[in-house]
Chains A and B, each alone.
Chain A
Amino acid sequence: MNKNYLFGSTSGWKRYAPILLLAPGVFLYILIALGPSLATAVYSFTDASGLRGAPVNWIGLDNYDEFLFQGLASRDNIDATLRTLKFSVIVTFVQFTLGLILALLLNQKLRGRTVFRTLFFIPVILGVVIQGLMWKLFLQPRGGPMATMFDWFGAQSEFLGGLPGPAFNWVIVVQIWANVGVTMVIFLAGMQTINTDLYEAARIDGASGWELFRSITWPQLTPAINTNFLLNIVGSLQAWQLFLVLLGYKPGTQVLGYLVFAEGFGQGTSPTFRQGFAAAASIVLFFLVLIIGFVANRYVTWREARYMG
């Protein structure tokens, strides 16, 4: 036991209370999440179909080779991978910024702030299928609200049914719209840990609003910032269902998560169960994220060292 340990007597079983109490949570986590995920990693080197009674053969790196290098399918796969990255980067930064702005606004003593907070959080409660329905209606090219607004400016768009570029961008918008409520709530929770005395003292020194934000709010929010950063990256990488709901299968818009789903569960044009290949695709995604995550993590550690001491 670490010498920092502060609680209760230092002898007998009580000494081990923290580790005993930690064990169930960690055990469950290893059992339900980590174990199966590692099994998936092993699957990626096999031709497993995921069916009971079907033989499983070790095929080394064949799945990876097919995914990354074979023919022009690899071009589509790599395009999907890059598209996933683009989606993730844009969503992460925009959602982060908007969430922070909303949290700052709603952390004030405003009449009706409860209503605003609830309103921005409602899409999270409604879930992805309904988010899709709402935006299909909102972006209806024949007389929908957004088409009307475009019309005021003499513009026109096919929105989700049109060119892959704009359609993809609309999915970015919907993803941010749907999840900014979570970012906001986590920032709001984080803001409650900031001691208001700090602001009072700085105000007396004549600090402006921006200076207050820079010198107090931003550094004090470090844990919430880190949380939201991770959360937004993960959320955007797993957003393939939104693509499915809004765009269906449209060449030029697929993201990696969709390919993984389609390959593993026979959803393609000629369906076949390919758990092994799907696993390989998801491991590629994992490594990609690991690299981004590593860079992000370095930044986060640096921030913590700088602001939290």
Chain B
Amino acid sequence: MINKRSWVLSLLVVFALLVAACGDGDSGDTTETTAGDSTATTSGGDAPATTSGGTAEEVTLRVLIHQNPAFTEYMDAFNADFEAANPGVTVDMSIVAPGDMATSIQTRLSANDVDVIDYCVAPCAGFSNAIQPYMTGVEKPAWQQLIEANLIMDLTDEPFIQNFDEATVRDAVSFDGKVYGINMGRNAFSGMFTNVDLLAELGVDIPTTWDELIAACDTINASGNACMTQGGGDTWPIFVGSYGLLGAEFPDQAALSEGLWTGAIKWNEGKALETIERFQVYATEMLESGVTGLSHDEATARYAAGDVAFLPTGTWQGANLEGFEPDFEWTYAPFPGSDNAADNQYLFGKYDLSFLIAEDTPNPDVAKAYLAALSDPDNYQAFVDATGFLPTQPTATLDSVLGNAVSPLLANYRNAFEQIWVAPTGAGQWANAWQAAAWFAPYNEWTDAKALADQAQADLEAGLGG
């Protein structure tokens, strides 16, 4: 009997503990919110960065960012400075894995448990993939859903917005004439890292047309070196590496998207077909064999060893390349995908992470001060130095091997197709033929470019209702 009673009692105790713990969590939340609220009401007004922390109140600013070693390191240092400059403010920064960012933004906003958000939802490209007038029946992009649910603060009139390039503000963080954030940097991925020493040794100039590239590869391969390597084991680097080809063939990427939607461009005709054929040449002839065994980072390490001529991939690998082999001499040149050298001078890429403020933040002024401090030209220069992003402020410069290689091309920077294209609802997977380079054998089952192009067009038309 004693046993029985003690069991019931212990069960009751367990549940009582549970309930008590619930109560704890609840009250903790409430106090935090009230503290925030009171600050918001007392420190009202358009306080600039330096004075916002003048109040003696304790404020906790909740910041959500994605994990990326160089970036998080910068943010830790920045937060310490921000706290020092704004007494009473504590920055509570959560770092989540890049793949969990969308879910985290969704749940943190639902719980009203965040003030500043690093909007880096895959593919981490600012307000990309906007619905264009010619698109019908497609779903709204995630950022538009957030704005229309009144979860994101309108920052149109904030002075710190002026620190950024006009084009960046318009393309990366604006919707319907209003500005919702600051975009912190760009990446380009249509170029290729180019092995200066190897080309010099073989007497090959940096190719500027498709035919020159083919000839260069022949020479390089004949010398026993490899023309190109790639992180084929991760699949996506294969088609990201083919971006320059697509961009060179269609320098106006917005027109390509519209053409595919309206039927003016078909995957299996003309230039689009030629592009897919060239994808195949790039993927099966230019890339060295065995790239399926290399991850993206491993390919960069392999490239740094010096016996591969080109690595067509994103500028984000510049810092790694310098780290692996400081003596290795390289530059970053556009991928010469077109027969016309003039079309091979563009740089395509994406806007990377952007900071937004939650509409319901209890501390709007501190949150704005935080973004203002991030936008401050000196801080921004430090940010660019730390992360290696291509700058989105006119006064900032990227002082590195990569920065020097890329700066003459920045005037020709354009948003890449991936950030523009939205597949029609109901289109099959092959309609995304801008990824087709990764679909040829040995990476996938296609061997005939024309057959693939036909399938791509059929998959596309299935969504267009054609």
Residue from A51, A165, A269, A271 within 8 A of B109 (CB atoms): A51
- With a CB–CB cut-off of 8 A, which chain A residues contact B463? 71-73
Q: A31-70 CB contact bits vs B (8 Å, 1 = yes)?
A: 0000000000000000001111110000000000010001
Residue from B4, B99, B139 within 8 A of A274 (CB atoms): B139
Interface residues of B in 235-251 (CB under 8 A from A): 235-236
Q: A156-168 CB contact bits vs B (8 Å, 1 = yes)?
A: 0011111111000
Asked if B44 lies at the interface with its beta carbon under 8 angstroms from chain A, I say: no
CA gap between A160 and B294 in the complex, in Å: 11
CA gap between A252 and B445 in the complex, in Å: 9
Asked if B429 lies at the interface with its beta carbon under 8 angstroms from chain A, I say: yes
CA gap between A54 and B106 in the complex, in Å: 11
Asked if A140 lies at the interface with its beta carbon under 8 angstroms from chain B, I say: yes
Q: Are B428 and A76 neighbours in the complex by a CB distance under 8 Å?
A: yes
Q: Are A71 and B233 neighbours in the complex by a CB distance under 8 Å?
A: no
CA gap between A158 and B232 in the complex, in Å: 10
- With a CB–CB cut-off of 8 A, which chain B residues contact A141? 290, 292-293
Residue from B102, B431, B439, B459 within 8 A of A273 (CB atoms): B102
Residue from B233, B427, B459 within 8 A of A161 (CB atoms): B233
Asked if A136 lies at the interface with its beta carbon under 8 angstroms from chain B, I say: yes
Q: B126-154 CB contact bits vs A (8 Å, 1 = yes)?
A: 00110000000011111001101111000
Residue from B141, B429, B432 within 8 A of A272 (CB atoms): B141
Asked if A2 lies at the interface with its beta carbon under 8 angstroms from chain B, I say: no
Q: Are A247 and B423 neighbours in the complex by a CB distance under 8 Å?
A: no
CA gap between A160 and B430 in the complex, in Å: 21
CA gap between A76 and B431 in the complex, in Å: 12
Number of interface residues of B (CB under 8 A): 60
- Smallest CB-CB separation from A160: which chain B residue? B233
Q: Are A162 and B425 neighbours in the complex by a CB distance under 8 Å?
A: no
Interface residues of B (CB under 8 A from A): 4, 11, 15, 99, 102-103, 106, 109-110, 112, 121-123, 128-129, 138-142, 145-146, 148-151, 232-236, 290-295, 418, 421-432, 439, 441-445, 458-459, 462-463
Q: Which of A14, A76, A162, A272 gathers most chain B CB within 10 Å?
A: A272
- With a CB–CB cut-off of 8 A, which chain B residues contact A199? none
Q: Are A51 and B146 neighbours in the complex by a CB distance under 8 Å?
A: yes
- Smallest CB-CB separation from A144: which chain B residue? B293
**A170 CB to closest chain B CB, in angstroms?**
12
Q: Using A163-B444, A249-B236, A252-B444 as known contacts, say yes or no to A158 and B292 having CB atoms under 8 A apart.
A: yes
Asked if A142 lies at the interface with its beta carbon under 8 angstroms from chain B, I say: yes
- A-B contacts besides A70-B425, A272-B139, 14 pairs, CB < 8 Å: A14-B4, A17-B4, A72-B458, A72-B463, A73-B425, A141-B290, A159-B292, A160-B292, A162-B442, A248-B236, A265-B102, A267-B102, A271-B122, A271-B141
**A276 CB to closest chain B CB, in angstroms?**
11
Q: Are A73 and B426 neighbours in the complex by a CB distance under 8 Å?
A: yes
CA gap between A267 and B105 in the complex, in Å: 13
- With a CB–CB cut-off of 8 A, which chain B residues contact A66? 425-426
- With a CB–CB cut-off of 8 A, which chain A residues contact B294? 142
- With a CB–CB cut-off of 8 A, which chain A residues contact B103? 265
Asked if A250 lies at the interface with its beta carbon under 8 angstroms from chain B, I say: yes
Asked if A113 lies at the interface with its beta carbon under 8 angstroms from chain B, I say: no
Asked if A86 lies at the interface with its beta carbon under 8 angstroms from chain B, I say: no
- With a CB–CB cut-off of 8 A, which chain B residues contact A274? 139
Interface residues of A (CB under 8 A from B): 14, 17, 21, 24, 49-54, 66, 70-76, 136, 140-142, 144, 158-165, 247-252, 265-267, 269-274
**B26 CB to closest chain A CB, in angstroms?**
17
Q: Are B292 and A251 neighbours in the complex by a CB distance under 8 Å?
A: no
23 A-B contacts, Cβ less than 8 Å apart? A49-B145, A50-B106, A52-B109, A70-B426, A71-B428, A71-B463, A72-B427, A73-B427, A73-B429, A160-B233, A161-B232, A161-B293, A162-B443, A163-B444, A165-B445, A247-B235, A252-B444, A252-B445, A266-B121, A266-B142, A270-B129, A271-B121, A272-B140
- With a CB–CB cut-off of 8 A, which chain A residues contact B121? 266, 271
Q: Are B235 and A162 neighbours in the complex by a CB distance under 8 Å?
A: no
Q: Are B426 and A273 neighbours in the complex by a CB distance under 8 Å?
A: no
CA gap between A136 and B427 in the complex, in Å: 32
- With a CB–CB cut-off of 8 A, which chain B residues contact A71? 424-428, 462-463
Residue from B109, B234, B426 within 8 A of A248 (CB atoms): B234
**A55 CB to closest chain B CB, in angstroms?**
8
Q: Are B233 and A164 neighbours in the complex by a CB distance under 8 Å?
A: no
Q: Using A142-B290, A271-B121 as known contacts, say yes or no to A251 and B442 having CB atoms under 8 A apart.
A: no
CA gap between A50 and B421 in the complex, in Å: 24
CA gap between A273 and B141 in the complex, in Å: 8
- With a CB–CB cut-off of 8 A, which chain A residues contact B236? 248-249
- With a CB–CB cut-off of 8 A, which chain A residues contact B102? 265-267, 271, 273
Q: Are B149 and A250 neighbours in the complex by a CB distance under 8 Å?
A: no
CA gap between A274 and B139 in the complex, in Å: 9
- With a CB–CB cut-off of 8 A, which chain A residues contact B444? 163-164, 250-252
